[in-house]
Amino acid sequence: MRLDKFICKSTQLTRDEATQLILEGVVTVDGKPVFETTLQVHENNQIFLKDDLLIPRPSRYILLNKPKNTESSNVNGRHPSIMNLLDIDDVDNLHIAGRLDADTTGLVLITDDGRWSFNIIRPDKDCEKVYRVGLRDALNDPRSKFTVNEIIHKFEQGIQLQGEYGLTAPAKLKYLNSRQVLLTITEGKFHQVKRMFSAVGNRVVQLHRQSIGQIKVDVEIGQWRYLRTEEIAYFL
């Protein structure tokens, strides 16, 4: 964790206030003054602010069911930030592990534990994300360019996205009805789900993330809860 963030997590100071104290030389790490706000520190370091040993608060792990027309960001943009839905202290210290587009609903994980969230987003972890996808065109339409089985096979082999080198990682497609499928992917490329269906001549009109790994969304749209111990442990 960055030193300035460690200070914020151990005190009631803002990021700007923590930065100022570091630059003043009143913060020590293992007995040595430091002046670098981005220095990476961990729980084994002894970090003092003047004469006070800093002990960070326990990390927080949150599941949120994102509504449509909200942004996966810490600040409001064109649409309101999903952080507005959290009625807890120190929201600014949290970050989002796996963002969703403004028009996409469903599971978002939020935390202040950078190592935990890194295990979710790093590609080599092959973390499965399951989406319920609503499509503009019926998959069993005889005028479609590909049959349902052909599309399932293409997704299993990997899709060539426009502007990308190489294929996507293998994906699993489960047919629900003519205009709804479940898609399981392990990547998080820009607009990936929408671009995958565009590559086979269809268009996504509704997108909802149901799960990340073993964590499933189980609260109403716009609601949130803290993760249970076993859910947190899944990504440790």
Catalytic residues: 101
pLDDT attached to residue 128: 93
Tokens of 188: 């998080």
Pick 128-212's CATH classification: 3.40.50.10490, 3.30.70.1900, 3.50.50.60, 3.30.70.1560: 3.30.70.1560
pLDDT digits (tens, 9 = 90+) for 172-223: 999 999 999 999 999 988 899 999 999 999 999 999 999 999 999 999 999 9
Q: Which is more confident, 82 or 10?
A: 82
Is it true that domain 61-124+218-234 has CATH number 3.40.605.10? no
Residue ranges covered by each domain of the chain: 3-53, 61-124+218-234, 128-212
Superfamily holding 3-53: RNA-binding S4 domain (3.10.290.10)
Global pTM reads 0.85
CA gyration radius, the chain: 21
Angular region, 9: left φ>0, alpha ψ -120 to 50, beta rest: alpha
pLDDT digits (tens, 9 = 90+) for 116-141: 998 888 777 788 999 999 999 999 88
